[in-house]
Structure 1
Amino acid sequence: MTSIGDAEMVDWKLAVATATRLAKPGPEVSRDEAREVVAELRRHAKASERHVREFTRMTSAGEGADTPVLVVDRAGWVRANVAGFRAVLGPLLDKMQDRRGNLPGGAVLGAVGGKVTGVELGMLLSFLASRVLGQYETFAPASRDMPGSAAAGGRLLLVAPNIVQVERELEVDPHDFRLWVCLHEETHRTQFTAVPWLRDHIEGEIQAFLGETEVDPVTLLERIREAVQSLAGGRPPEEDGEARVGRSIVELVQTPAQREILGRLTAVMSLLEGHADYVMDGVGPRVVPSVVEIREKFQKRRATGAGRLDAALRKLLGLDAKLRQYRDGERFVRAVVDEVGMDGFNRVWTSPNTLPTKAEIAKPADWVARVHRQPEG
């Protein structure tokens, strides 16, 4: 389906193997400690369900029972995300396959391109696998070892070794920190289970973005290679300057039509991330005794990253944009709730037409004026 000749354009199994092999080992814990962390995260995830729904007044069909919570290690996170990438990128890879015969280097790509791309994708995932605390995995199909919602394949992932590592680095109460993380991630699960059209809308936007992609396989490999070389130290930031690391991979391959789509995607992702932060801060003081300390230390860690090389790679991968989404989105949600209350804010979930634009994320009053002057429904 996604091959050049007899070779896949992306060797997905090799990507998983590479990421699993290169991912840094997690923190040292005994077997009993590991079992307790897993059990506690599951308890907190269940408790967070009730806390989030009471605070947001959003109700999921079937109380979310159809969307599993999976406590995973770094390898499990890698497998889930490779499955997601494979599902989302399939149409783009098919398009690239159709064009391969007219491209320079097509024969070489047919022989080795899939393995090269698999290794380089695996290297990127190995970097991310040690940093993600949790994730609502939206697009990957359910499998025997990675169950998902029967309706849409969704599942909530909690990456246990990363949560333990961060709570130790921050020197915060581990029980409070685990619940605090679960509150954020459960908000994402609630968003998708309570708003049935949201998954299809985002997937449609992503496919529209990919459908406008004119990049050839050689160029795409170059973009991935830039990120990997930054990670490996092959091109230090000070040698390549802003021209090399000043833009993310996504920005480097955009067409004018893609910029419009990306603006809409940025707005909705800002909404989702900001809403999760807002809920976490709203619920936290009631159920997490040390929430003020946790929030302060975590925000500082989120803003500073782990050093110059880490910062350069985050920029190249577009992760800095995600940090802005947390900040701008939370500011939007807070301003709207202050103006029209939680029920008024929840009109954002009515349809794609009531989602904020990128400009409205920056000017919440414009969203209030547009949506609340329209008749309900």
Structure 2
Amino acid sequence: MNLYRSVRAVADASGDDAIDWESAADAAKAATEPGSIALTADEREAYARDVRDARAGVREVSGLEFDVPETVEIQNRHHWIDANVATFERIMRTLETHAGTGAFPGVARTVNTGTMTVLLAFLGRNVLGQYDPLLLADSPQEDHALYFVQPNILNAADTLAVDADRFRRWIAFHEVTHAAEFGAAPWLSEHLEQRMEAGIATLSQGSFDRDAFRELDAAMTVVEGYAELLMDHAFDGEYEDLRRKLDERRQGRGPLQQLFRRLLGLGLKRRQYERGKDFFEHIAAARDLETASLVWEGPEYLPSHDELDAPETWIRRVER
């Protein structure tokens, strides 16, 4: 880690855009130890086996037809930062496209670049695994991707005092459930992109499209909640200790980490996990997993913001 080099990269930010993305990535990596991805042949096979088992288990309990992405990477923290800079740039580019040169009035490029550096560095040190649907990608032919951040997985397993192999397997199952969702619902990426772009367009015009953001929040709550439901049914063996400890980790233990999580919207993500899980547990208990899977039949089957808190209302609507 080289904080001086990180500060220099931010200070040297240049270009015509509101954020110098190359400088942000360089600064984030300079402020973050990459960690090791030196794996034995057995460890690499263990990752591959976990993904295969997760695919088979999720297929069996859900009845969904899907496959995992061709791109499955074991990353260090710097790899994750490089992979996600493009995602953040696509999102911010959409904002700048709608807003023109007035997207960031009075805000210096250096400040924007520094803010993005902090975001990338914090997430790079904390993300365990990621299913990346490549939202807002330039080409629809770009393949989705599955990432495992090896040093973060080992560090989290040690901090939570759980078996590292079992913890890695748990992360694999969670990310594969997301692959199942997007694989079973080819329309989902476009649906999320449209809601995201609608919200960004109004924000850049100085207004707030409440409906667009409520629909986006509802859709993401479904994505997170359904994944939690499948995890409970597909993962082999006991999992309550892992779920409890991960829930504690999501809350953040120290005041500084809690502050970062609030600033980055990670508290919202935790609420999506909990609210979505409650919705699908009710559906599974009242009907079954097959009924819960109806959410992927089409956008019209997604529960509304209000239906997420009234699952019986959603059941009545889709069973008509």
- Could you state the TM-score of these two structures normalised by the residue count of structure 1? 0.75
Q: Does 1:346 align with 2:293?
A: yes
State the match for 2:177 in structure 1.
Answer: 187
Q: 2:123 aligns with which of 116, 128, 131?
A: 128
Taking the aligned partners of 2:164 and 2:137, their CA distance within structure 1 comes to 31
**What code does the residue aligned with 1:45 have?**
V
Q: 1:83 aligns with which of 64, 86, 98?
A: 86
Shift of 1:208: 0.7
Contact between 1:73 and 1:159, CA under 8 Å: does it hold in 2? yes
Q: 2:53 aligns with which of 28, 32, 47?
A: 47
Shift of 1:38: 4.1
Taking the aligned partners of 1:68 and 1:86, their CA distance within structure 2 comes to 21
Shift of 1:320: 0.4
Taking the aligned partners of 1:118 and 1:142, their CA distance within structure 2 comes to 22
Taking the aligned partners of 1:11 and 1:104, their CA distance within structure 2 comes to 16
Contact between 2:71 and 2:145, CA under 8 Å: does it hold in 1? yes
Shift of 1:140: 6.0
Contact between 2:135 and 2:193, CA under 8 Å: does it hold in 1? no
Contact between 2:98 and 2:204, CA under 8 Å: does it hold in 1? no
Name whichever of 200-209 and 339-348 sits farther off.
339-348
Taking the aligned partners of 2:305 and 2:181, their CA distance within structure 1 comes to 19
Taking the aligned partners of 2:147 and 2:81, their CA distance within structure 1 comes to 11
State the match for 1:296 in structure 2.
Answer: 244
Q: Does 1:16 align with 2:20?
A: no
State the match for 2:160 in structure 1.
Answer: 170
Contact between 2:37 and 2:151, CA under 8 Å: does it hold in 1? no
Task: Flag the 1:299–1:359 CA change in 2: closer, same or farther, 3 A.
Answer: same
Taking the aligned partners of 2:205 and 2:112, their CA distance within structure 1 comes to 15
Alignment of 1:1-377 (within 5 A): 7-24=16-33, 26=35, 31-32=38-39, 36-60=42-66, 63-64=67-68, 66-99=69-102, 105=106, 113-139=108-134, 151-214=141-204, 255-257=207-209, 259-284=210-235, 287=236, 289-303=237-251, 305-373=252-320
Contact between 1:87 and 1:139, CA under 8 Å: does it hold in 2? no
State the match for 2:9 in structure 1.
Answer: none
- 1:29-69 superposed Cα distances (whole Å, 9 cap, x missing partner): 69456x65444223211221111111111102xx34x5422
**What code does the residue aligned with 1:329 have?**
G
Which consecutive residues of structure 1, in runs of 5 or more, have no partner in the other structure? 144-148, 217-254
- Identity, in percent, stands at 31
- 1:150-200 superposed Cα distances (whole Å, 9 cap, x missing partner): 734311111111111111111112211111111110000111112110011
**What code does the residue aligned with 1:41 have?**
Y
Taking the aligned partners of 2:306 and 2:216, their CA distance within structure 1 comes to 12
Taking the aligned partners of 2:15 and 2:163, their CA distance within structure 1 comes to 53
Taking the aligned partners of 2:190 and 2:301, their CA distance within structure 1 comes to 16
Shift of 1:340: 2.2
Shift of 1:367: 0.7
**What code does the residue aligned with 2:50 have?**
H
Taking the aligned partners of 1:331 and 1:189, their CA distance within structure 2 comes to 21
Taking the aligned partners of 2:159 and 2:21, their CA distance within structure 1 comes to 33
Taking the aligned partners of 2:174 and 2:37, their CA distance within structure 1 comes to 27
- Could you state the TM-score of these two structures normalised by the residue count of structure 2? 0.87
Contact between 1:202 and 1:265, CA under 8 Å: does it hold in 2? yes
Radius of gyration: which is bigger? 1
Contact between 1:80 and 1:137, CA under 8 Å: does it hold in 2? no
Taking the aligned partners of 1:90 and 1:179, their CA distance within structure 2 comes to 36
Root mean square deviation, CA, Å: 2.5
Taking the aligned partners of 1:313 and 1:367, their CA distance within structure 2 comes to 35
Taking the aligned partners of 1:362 and 1:152, their CA distance within structure 2 comes to 36
Q: What secondary structure is seen at the aligned counterpart in 2 of 1:151? A: coil
Task: Flag the 1:183–1:104 CA change in 2: closer, same or farther, 3 A.
Answer: closer
**What code does the residue aligned with 1:330 have?**
K
Contact between 1:187 and 1:279, CA under 8 Å: does it hold in 2? yes
